[in-house]
């Protein structure tokens, strides 16, 4: 994603509170990148937080793998997407139920961000 948008600002946010109003000032869109979305809870919290700061901003989520249940009809993430200005793109939809946590998180391994706390 960084290669596709070389002029974009990069912010490594571990939680929603890491995204501040100054990060979104004068922005029309934000791209959230997550290697694996299991339940959708984390990305939903981030999107809701961003929406509280800027109600009109376009939010796009790019993910490597998304668990089917996270985006199924009736899920909180699906309901949020139906409100508008929110899109999710995934390389693969999975029915597996594995969920990594902590320092073994797939995102940390894929993006070599284990050293960023």
**Residue 35: which CATH number?**
3.40.50.2020
Assigned domain for 49 exists: yes
Whether pTM > 0.75 for this model: the answer is yes
Contact yes or no for 114/97 (Cβ under 8 A): no
In a domain, 43, yes or no: yes
CA distances from 54 to 7, 16, 74, 85, 91 (A): 21, 14, 25, 11, 28
The Cα–Cα gap between 113 and 105 comes to 10
Residue 30 pairs with which residues in a beta bridge? 59
Domain count, the chain: 1
Assess if residue 17 is contained within a domain.
Answer: no
Residue 115, pLDDT score: 40
Q: Which residues pair with 93 in a beta bridge?
A: 66
CA dist 112 → 22, 41, 103, 108 (Å): 27, 23, 11, 5
59 falls within a domain: yes
Q: Is residue 116 part of a domain?
A: no
pLDDT, tens digit (0-9, with 9 covering 90-100), for 57-85:
999 999 999 999 999 999 999 999 999 99
Check residues 46 and 100 and name the one with the higher pLDDT. 46
Percent of the chain with pLDDT over 90: 68
What is the domain range of residue 44? 24-97
Determine what percent of the chain is predicted with pLDDT higher than 70: 82
């Amino acid at each position: 994603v960084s290669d596709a948008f070389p002029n974009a600002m990069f912010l490594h946010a571990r939680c929603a509170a890491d995204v501040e109003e100054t990060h979104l000032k004068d922005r029309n869109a934000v791209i959230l990148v997550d290697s694996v979305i299991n339940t959708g809870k984390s990305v939903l919290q981030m999107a809701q937080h961003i929406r509280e700061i800027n109600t009109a901003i376009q939010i796009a989520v790019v993910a490597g793998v998304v668990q089917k249940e996270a985006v199924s009809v009736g899920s909180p993430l699906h309901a949020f997407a139906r409100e508008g200005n929110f899109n999710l793109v995934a390389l693969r939809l999975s029915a597996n139920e594995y969920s990594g946590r902590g320092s073994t998180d797939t995102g940390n391994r894929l993006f070599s961000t284990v050293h960023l706390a």
